[in-house]
A and B are shown apart, each in its own frame.
Chain A
C-alpha cells in the first residue's frame, strides 16, 4: 500500500503535482495538506536560510493570508482595504500590478475580530478573492484587470467575508462570517466564468435551503430526519441561527465531494435555543456541482462554548486498526482531533490534543460529544476553568500534513477561561447583563503549542511549547522541514521528524499568516510568509486595545495582555532562501 514512499499517506491529488514550484491556493492542494514537494531546503541546510527580499503591504491590521504563487508571480491580498498585489518573482518582488476593490469602510465596524483576509486563489490564469464587504472578485492574473465582481451578502445584516475562496471545476466557493450578529450561515458557489450564483447552501432551515435531498446519507441517526435545520431549534430561531462558513474548504476529486465546517450557533444564548441547533458546529460533505449534501457530522451539538466547527479538514489516508482509510483529519475548537471516514462521515477516532474540561469524550457509537454539565455556562453563575476557552484548542490557523512523516503539524493555543460575575454591557441602545470572559493560560502555563500529531496512533509525536498562542498557519516541505510563526514575530523552521529548532528569524511584527514555499524563475526554493500581527488573538495590538480592560477582544486581552510589549503592528512579506 505504501510502496511509493514519498507519496505514502497522501492521496494522489495531494502531492502528485507537476507544478511542484507553485502554490495556487492557500492550502496548496485540494486535500489541504500545505505540503510543498520542494526538497532543496532540508533539515541539514535550513540553518543557513537567509532573507531574500521583503515587501511592505502598507496595512497595519492582522495579516492572515497565504501568498499565492503561479506563473512566476506572487499574489497577496492585504487585510481591509483588501488591496491585491502581483509581485514579479523574476525581479525580487517588483510590483507588476495592484488592484483595489475599495470595500466600504463601514465593513470594518462589522467584522468581529479584526479585518482579516485569508487569501486569494489562482486558477487557469485568473485570481479570485473576497473583500470584507461581501464581494467576490475575479481578476486577470496577468494584468490585474477585473473580469467580474459579485456581491454575496449585506454588511447591514452583520455579514462580512474573510475566508479564502476555493475553485473546484467551474465553481468558486465562498462562505460568510458574522454569526454572533444573527447572520444565517451559507456556502455559495459562483460560476467562475460569470460570477453568477450557481447555488447557495444555508447552514440552518428547511432541507430545501440546506440542499439536503435524497442523496443525503449522514452516518449517525441523530443527523437523519426531515428538516432538522428547523426542528432542532425553537420556533424560528434558525432564521438567524449562525453556522457561518469562514474556514477553509477541501475537495476530494475521486469522491467528487467538498468538505467544510460550519460555525457556532448564534446570536442566541444557549439557554434560548434548546435543541441540537443543526447544522451548526459541524462538517458538511457536498457535491461541488449542485451543492447537494452527502453527509453531515455535528462536532458540538447545541454548542455551549463558541466552538465553531470551521477548522480545516485535511484529506489523507490514515492507517486505522491495520486498515488504510480514506480519512478526513480535523483538529476542532472543542479540543479533539477527529479522524473520520470521508466517504461515510463516520468518526474513527476523536482524541484530545489539548486539556479538555468541557466534555468527557466522543461516543463513537452515536458520534455524540459528551458535555461536562459543570462547565455549562449559566447566566448569573461563575464557571471557572472552561478548557479549551472560546477560541478552542485551535482556531482558524491551519495545520499542515507531510506524507513523508505522516504527521499533522498543528499550530494552536493552550487557553482556558473563566466566566465571571454579571457585568452590565450596552450595545446599540440595549443594556444587558452578561458574563464576562477572561482567558488565561491552560495547564502547563504556556499559551501556545505546535503539535506534531500522529493520526494513526492518535497521539502527539512531539510538541513545541510557545509562550504566546501560535496563531499562524503551518507549512510542511519534502525536505522534512516544517515552518510556522509566533506572535512575537519569530519565523521558525523545525525538523519535521523531531521538532528540533533548525532556524529562526525575527520579523518586524507578530506572525498570524500562512507560510508557503515555491520555486522562483531562478530555480531556487523560497519560503514566504506575511508578518503583521492581528486577528482575534492579536487584535489587542492591531487595534491598539487597552489591555487593562482584561475582558476586551472577546476576553482575549486577559490572555495576551503582554503582547503590546512584545510586538507592534505592520504588514510585511518576508521571503527566505538558501544562500
Chain B
C-alpha cells in the first residue's frame, strides 16, 4: 500500500482515501472465509446457504469483500483451513469448540426427533412408548469414537436394533438423506440437528413434525450454541465480528427465520 502510494506521485488524494479505508477496516477489507461447498442449508458453492448470507451481511457491515476457501467440512477441516491460514474465519462452529477463538453465539438450536405425523401420530420423543418399535435414523460422526448425541441417548435406553445409522461423510448432507428416508417410508423417526433438518423438512412431500429432544439425567446435551471461529490470538478480528454480529442481530434473525434454523418449539425446550 505505502509503496504503491509512493510510486503514484500526484495521486495524493486517492492514496489518502485508501489509507483511511485501510485504517478503518484494518483486518477486514477482505473477509477470508472457509466453508463447505456442498453443505446446505449452511453453505454451498453458489453461496445460497444461510451462513453465506450472514457472512455477506457482516462483510457489508464492516465494508469488506468476501473471499471463500472451499473444503468439505470433514475430519481435519479446521486444521486444513483456518489453522493453515487459508482463511480468517469459519462461520457456524459450536461456541465451545476448542483450539479456536469463537465469537459470541449468534444462534442456538437443538437436535430434534423428526417424525412422520401420518405414521406415528402424537409422537412425543424420547419417552414415547413406541420408540423401541419404530425405525429411527441417527447420524454417525464416526470420528473420535463418538456417538451422535441422540444416538447415545437411544443406546443408553437400550434402543439399538431399530436404529439405522447414517454416516455423516457422504456427498449428500446427512439430514437430507434422513429426511428422504422418512419421506420414502424407510424411517419413522429421524434424529437430526434442527438447523439442517428445518430446510429439508420444508422441501419434503410428506407431513413431517419435529419433537424436541429433552435430555434426562445422563443424556448428552442436544442443544448447541453456534458462533464463528477465528484463529487463536486473532482477538482483533473476533472483536470486529462480535460488534458486527451485535449490530446485525435483527437482520441475522430474519435470515435464520427464513431458513428455519432455530427450533420451532417453545424456546425453553431448545435452550436447556
Residues of A at the B interface (CB closer than 8 Å) are 106, 109-110, 112, 156-158, 180-182, 234-237, 240, 266-274, 306, 377, 379-380, 422-437, 543-546, 548-549, 551-552, 554
Contact = CB atoms under 8 A, between A and B. Distances in A.
B61 interface: no
Interface in B186-200: 193, 195-196
A268 B169 contact: no
A235 B161 contact: yes
A431 B72 CA distance: 15
Nearest to A275: B160
Contacts of A544: 84
A356 to B, nearest CB: 19
B212 interface: no
Interface of B: 36, 39, 42, 71-77, 79-80, 83-84, 93-99, 139-149, 151-152, 154-156, 160-165, 167-171, 173-175, 193, 195-196, 220-221, 224, 226, 232
Given A182-B165, A430-B141, A274 B147 contact: no
Given A425-B146, A429-B173, A548-B99, 13 more contacts: A112-B75, A156-B171, A180-B142, A180-B143, A240-B167, A268-B151, A272-B154, A380-B220, A428-B73, A429-B174, A430-B139, A431-B224, A544-B84
Contact of B144 (A273, A435, A546): A435
A430 B71 CA distance: 16
A428 B72 contact: yes
Contacts of A545: 79, 83
Count chain A CB atoms within 10 A of each CB in B99, B140, B175 and give the residue with the most.
B140
A274 B157 CA distance: 13
A180 B74 CA distance: 12
Given A428-B174, A433-B220, A181 B169 contact: yes
Nearest to A270: B145
A430 B80 CA distance: 18
Nearest to A235: B161
A237 B136 CA distance: 12
Is the contact region of chain B dominated by helix, strand, or loop, or is it mixed?
Answer: loop
15 contacts: A158-B170, A182-B140, A240-B165, A267-B165, A268-B147, A269-B152, A271-B156, A377-B145, A379-B147, A422-B220, A427-B73, A428-B39, A428-B173, A429-B168, A430-B148
B220 A549 contact: no
Contacts of B140: 182, 240, 267-268, 272
A423 B83 CA distance: 18
A209 B171 CA distance: 25
Nearest 8 A-B pairs (CB), nearest first? A267-B142, A182-B167, A434-B146, A234-B160, A269-B147, A156-B171, A434-B144, A424-B96
Max chain B C-beta neighbours (<10 A), residue from A106, A109, A156: A109
Contacts of A271: 147, 152, 155-156
B140 to A, nearest CB: 4
Contacts of A236: 164-165
B156 to A, nearest CB: 8
Given A109-B74, A234-B160, A552 B193 contact: no
A420 B204 CA distance: 40
B155 A427 contact: no
Contacts of B163: 234-235, 237, 272
A430 B151 contact: no
Given A429-B174, A429-B196, A272 B147 contact: yes
A380 B149 CA distance: 11
Max chain B CB contacts within 10 Å: which of A422, A546, A551, A554? A546
Contacts of A106: 72
Contact of A109 (B72, B144, B155): B72
Given A234-B163, A269-B152, A270-B145, A429 B96 contact: no
B50 to A, nearest CB: 12
B162 A235 contact: yes
A270 B165 CA distance: 13
B201 to A, nearest CB: 15
Nearest to B96: A424
A158 B75 CA distance: 11
Contact of B146 (A158, A181, A429, A433): A433
B141 A425 contact: yes
Given A429-B39, A543-B79, A269 B165 contact: no
Contacts of A109: 71-72, 74, 80
A428 B169 contact: yes
A428 B168 contact: yes
A460 to B, nearest CB: 31
Given A157-B170, A427-B169, A430-B196, A269 B151 contact: yes
Contact of B75 (A423, A427, A436, A551): A427
The interface centre, meaning the residue of A110, A157, A235 with most chain B CB atoms within 10 A of its CB, is: A235
B167 A235 contact: no
Contact of B143 (A380, A427, A546): A427
B160 A158 contact: no
Contact of A272 (B79, B96, B151, B170): B151
Contact of B224 (A156, A182, A424): A424
Nearest to B220: A433
A140 B37 CA distance: 40
Contacts of B220: 379-380, 422, 433
A9 B162 CA distance: 51
